Amino acid sequence: GFVGHDVVLGYTSLQPFKGVWSRSVRVASLCLSAGGIADAVAGAPWRGELSNLGFTKSVYYGARGFNHLNLNSGEDDLFVSKIATRENTSLVLGGPATMTRRVWGGYGWWKEQRLAHAPLHRHYSARIKWLRGVELWSRALFVLSVVGVALLLPPVAGYVALGMWVVREAAAMLVALRTARRLSERCSLAVYPLYDLVAPAIELALYVKRIFAPKHTWKSKST
């Protein structure tokens, strides 16, 4: 990956455990990571995980190293957004390039991990905020539009809207399945439709919590 490039990005999966929450957290992690990878493929890299991220010494010292160490999480994303460009970044994905880290427990663990990134949002550029939010909120708008048409317009229009939702859901499932295979991710996508529906509501709740989060840190309940 370093042949002709200074920054190499990879994918980090989560160790599988039994239970609906474990499956849901892994699907959510897959979708969040895949979004950052897709942006990098499109030539706009901004996200990376320290567990599967590489960069040359010249780039590191040229950027004066990590400069957001006052945050308790997310310094890797901010560093990548600072040093990575379309020209100097490559991706190594799938098979041996995929790394796994342990999940320490269910929805509560996942929520704490997300809230730990709360102060990070303030440091993103407008471009990155747009990349992070456009798909999620357009999805929420689509679902709300389907519900509105089904409830307020004649039955025929409601059937058409529900049919469009089914087509969209089938296409999204196909993309998620192909993405999981490309990244050598073995998570079960049986819970994906549920995640697809509730993710905007969860993200909205986390956004409200972020408004009241401390400027630099989010104190976990486990500390």
pLDDT at res. 11? 94
Of 40-54, 97-111, 160-174, which range is least confident? 97-111
Greatest mean pLDDT among 55-59, 199-203, 204-208 lies in 55-59
- Nearest C-alpha neighbor of 84 from the set 120, 55, 57: 55
- Polymer length of the chain: 223
Q: Compare 137 and 104 and report the one with higher pLDDT.
A: 137
Average the pLDDT over 163-171 and give the result: 92
* Per-residue confidence (pLDDT) for residue 223, from 0 to 100: 42
Give the dihedral of Cα atoms 95, 96, 99, 103; nearest 10 deg. Answer: 60
Nearest to 114 by CA among 206, 18, 179: 206
Task: Among 100-104, 166-170, 186-190, 213-217, name the most confident range.
Answer: 166-170
Those residues with Cβ within 8 angstroms of residue 35's Cβ, 6 or more apart along the chain or in another chain: 47, 131, 132, 135
What is the pTM for the complete model shown?
0.83
Q: Is the pLDDT of residue 84 over 50?
A: yes
Mean pLDDT of 29-46: 91
pLDDT of 107 reads: 72
pLDDT band, residue 191 (cuts 50/70/90): confident
pLDDT tops 70 at residue 220: no
pLDDT tens column, 46-78: 998 888 999 999 999 999 988 777 776 778 888
Amino acid at 33: S
Please report the pLDDT score of residue 40 as a whole number: 93
- Residue 104 clears pLDDT 90, i.e. is over it: no
- Which residues are CB-neighbours of 65 under 8 A, at least 6 positions away? none
Closest C-alpha among 106, 47, 41, 52 to residue 74: 47
The conformation of residue 49, written as its DSSP 8-state character, comes to -
